[in-house]
Amino acid sequence: MLAALTVMTIANGAAQGRGAAPPRSPRTAAPVDLTGYWVSLVTEDWRFRMFAAPKGDFTGVPLNPEGRKAAQAWDPARDAASGEACKAYGAGAVMRMPGRLHITWVDDTTLKVDTDAGTQTRTLRFGTPQGPAGGWQGVSAASWDRSPTALESQSPGSEGQSSGGSLKVTTTKMRSGYLRRNGVPYSGDAVITEYYDRFDIAGGDSLLVISTEVVDPTYLLQPFWTSTHFKKQNDSTGWNPTPCSVK
């Protein structure tokens, strides 16, 4: 029994990293490298994303009666005149806009996502979320969502990145906006949860897939799920910041 307990103690000590280095920062602990330039591959909801669909066309979005009413009231001219041309470029939809992303680390705890579509910036902060509420991009809390695989395969005290894990981002406190260009609404009370996954495929290409859940009791009957994919670029080719557009 003594021998067995001794072994158990050694095992637990090793697993918990007793005497090991201090906890790593989110940046050094990243299970996946999401930085760089990514270009969207618009192969789904193509006509909704590439063009503004007709008013009242909210096919696929589980709007409640209030949401339908708001969608029917879409007036792009009014949005432009009232300085709300960026309503379709908020956290609820900006990743669906055809365009490019530039993802960088600002510091050890903050990722930044710049979009050329609408020239928006999202700040994804690990730990306690900070930042002004009420903007188009709201306040985003980031964390690494590691799979059991990654936890098992990562040896104690190891340095560097280990494969297996997603970036989880929860965004709240946005300014109300549009899920689609044609005025399909989400409210300022919506909660947006995203998972960022990277897949490397044969031939050297890498894909970024962002799975998004929008929960909005104000305008939605149920969570609205989409998944949006991007291809990695070697450089900034095609990066073309453009202002928000209501069309």
Partner 1 sequence: MLGQVTFALIVATLTVATVFGQAGAPPVEPQSSAGFDLSGYWTAAQHEDALERGPGPELVDYGGFPINDAARLFALSYDASRVTLRHHQCDGYVTAYQVRATGNARAWEERDPHTQRLIAIHWYNQTFEGHRTLWMDGRPHPAPYAPHTWMGFSTGRFVGNALMVETTHIKQGWLRRNGLPESDQATTVEFFVRHGDHLTHTSVITDPVYLAEPLVRTTDFVRQPVDHRNWLFACDDGEQILGRAPDQVPNYLFGQNPFIREFGNRYQVPLAAHLGGAETMYPPNATMSRPVAESDALARTRPGAGGSVASRAVNPEPSDGDVHVLPIRNNLYLLAGDRGNIVVQVGDEGAFVVDTGAGALADKTIAAIGRLSDRPIQFIANTSFRPDHTGGNATLRASGVDPSVQGSFFSRQFADAGVGATIMAHQNVQNSMIALRMPPSGVPSDTFLQERRRTFHNGDAVEMFWEPHAVTDGDSLVHFRRADVIVTGDIFTTTQFPFIDVSHGGSVEGEIRALNDILSRTVFQHEGEGGTLIVPGHGYLCDEHEVVEYRDMVVIIRDRVQALIRNGATLEQVKAARVTADYDTRYGATSGAWTTDMFVEAVYTSLMSAPTRPTTQR
Q: List interacting residues with partner 1 (CB under 8 A).
A: 1, 4-5, 7-8, 11-12, 14-15, 31-32, 39-47, 50-51, 53-54, 59-62, 98-100, 116-117, 145-150, 152-153, 163-166, 168, 195, 197, 199, 201-202, 205, 207, 209, 211, 213, 223-229, 231, 238, 240
**Cβ closer to partner 1: 5 or 77?**
5
Task: Show the tokens assigned to 44.
Answer: 């789904």
Report in angstroms how near the CB of residue 23 gets to partner 1 at its nearest: 20
- 116-142: string of b/e by CB count within 10 Å (b at 16+)? bbbebebbbbbeebeeeeebbbbbbbb
Report in angstroms how near the CB of residue 8 gets to partner 1 at its nearest: 4
Report in angstroms how near the CB of residue 17 gets to partner 1 at its nearest: 12
**Cβ closer to partner 1: 31 or 135?**
31
Cα gap 176→187, rounded to integer Å: 4
Cα gap 221→66, rounded to integer Å: 10
**Cβ closer to partner 1: 3 or 83?**
3
**How many alpha carbons lie under 13 Å from residue 125 in its C-beta half-sphere?**
12
Report in angstroms how near the CB of residue 211 gets to partner 1 at its nearest: 4
**Cβ closer to partner 1: 14 or 133?**
14
What are the two backbone dihedrals, phi and then psi, of residue 66, each rounded to the nearest 5 degrees?
-65, -40
Report in angstroms how near the CB of residue 36 gets to partner 1 at its nearest: 16
Cα gap 247→231, rounded to integer Å: 25
**Cβ closer to partner 1: 135 or 187?**
187
In angstroms, the first-to-last Cα distance of the chain is: 74
Using DSSP, how many helices (H) and how many strands (E) does the chain show? 5, 11
Report in angstroms how near the CB of residue 126 gets to partner 1 at its nearest: 18
**Cβ closer to partner 1: 111 or 208?**
208
Is the distance from CB of 133 to CB of 156 less than 8 angstroms? Answer: no
Cα gap 93→100, rounded to integer Å: 14
